[in-house]
Homo-oligomer: A and B are copies of this chain.
Amino acid sequence: MGITDQLVKFATAEVPEVAAAMMRLSLFDWAACGIAGAMEPEFAAFARAQRVEDGPAQVFGGGALGAAAAALLNGTLSHALDYDDTHFAHIGHPSVAVPPAVVALAQTLDTPLTDAVDAATIGVEASILTGIWLGRSHYQVGYHQTATAGAFGATLAAARLLGLDKHQTRNALGLCASMASGVKAQFGTMAKPLNAGLAARTGVEAALWAQAGMTAAQHGLEGPLGFGATHHGEGAEIKMPRKEWQINTISHKYHACCHGLHAMLEALAGVDLEAERIAVVKIRTHPRWMSVCNIAAPKTGLEVKFSYAHTAAMTLLGHRTGAIANFSDDLARDKSIIALRERVEVVEDESLSETQSLVTLTTVSGEVRRLRHDLLAPMTLEARSIKLRMKINALLGAPRADALWQAATGSNLEAVTACFADATPES
């Protein structure tokens, strides 16, 4: 069975509880990233340009638009900080494409939160499977898989929300084959998050237009002259999920800095030691990261995001690396952090993978602690919840984080979207 047929069938699949629970964590994380993203002043004019229409779908930073426009804006803002979740096999960020489509459309349809979560779970899973199907060749040549594969996931989720029949769902995926887009030439520009927003909007529009009777290629992904053939797709084999869903292996970001630092920061997470007791911190990491995030003496907040030594010292001194605001020029110049970072040594270690870090901490009294972490290590839902809540506390402050957490784990979609507005920076 071709991938289009498989996806059409998957649109109405039953969603296991664990997968839906994982989706709720990602929904919580995604919404927090969007609320924080809406505070970025550089996106203010773009957001204003979208706010020319009215509608039922709440957008981050306040206001409500039609479903398609809300999906576009919310998708973009939620990826603005690059602080959202990742799936390594998908090679993309599933939550910035699918949830914005689902939440916007669900608001216009008055869908219960449980059904919206199910649709998002299906969509996220479908985007990861499509990403695997497109494969590394698609990514390497320059497509932004978050957006391309993401659009198909968003489309399938929207088709489920709208209750499209099989024929309409097939047309929706066919329409998506002409609309899914986004290139990696945008990395480092504001168009990178925009790619995510466009994918979310494509999902909403493709499904709505198929519902309005638009026809399209019947095998839009794998057919001749279709999306895969034109977009350097590998056509890798995919397996529709039974027990093990791909969504269960999503990685969340718990630190507002370069991904290369995360394993080290996780390794140091539990350490409770006064700074004056620390003699040497030796960090071993994969050679790839040495040229990416090893600025020894960062001078600005932005540079701190790429510094093992400085972020290690921040963590040991209790400055939360989950808080965007802590990557400031002030903390880059902080004397006690600088004093400690001078005792940090970073060495490459080829025996480690890119997701692993090994830290050796020696105290002034000669005690040695060996700490290690692998970002791919399995994690319970509960452990994830705790870490995500800490992250979002740091990002939005405890009152807003708690309100969002209650809403995302509740049964009322309006309670979730009520948290989108009135963003106030962390105090």
Give A residues with C-beta under 8 Å from B: 42, 45-46, 48-49, 52-53, 66, 141-144, 147, 174-175, 177-187, 189-191, 194-195, 198, 208-209, 212-217, 219-220, 223-227, 229-232
Contacts and interface: CB of A to CB of B under 8 A. Distances in A.
Q: Which 5 A-B pairs have the closest CB atoms?
A: A142-B225, A185-B217, A191-B216, A45-B212, A181-B181
Contacts of A190: 213-216
Nearest to A49: B212
9 contacts: A45-B212, A52-B66, A142-B229, A177-B185, A185-B224, A185-B225, A187-B225, A190-B215, A231-B231
Most buried by B among A178, A209, A219: A178
Contacts of A229: 141-142
A189 B213 contact: no
Contacts of A49: 208-209, 212
A235 to B, nearest CB: 14
Contacts of A185: 174, 177-178, 217, 219-220, 223-227
Nearest to A189: B215
Q: Chain copies in the assembly?
A: 2
Nearest to A55: B52
A45 B210 CA distance: 10
Contacts of A184: 225
A216 B226 CA distance: 27
Nearest to A65: B53
Contacts of A181: 178-181
A199 to B, nearest CB: 10
A117 to B, nearest CB: 26
A178 B186 contact: yes
A323 to B, nearest CB: 26
A306 to B, nearest CB: 21
A119 B332 CA distance: 49
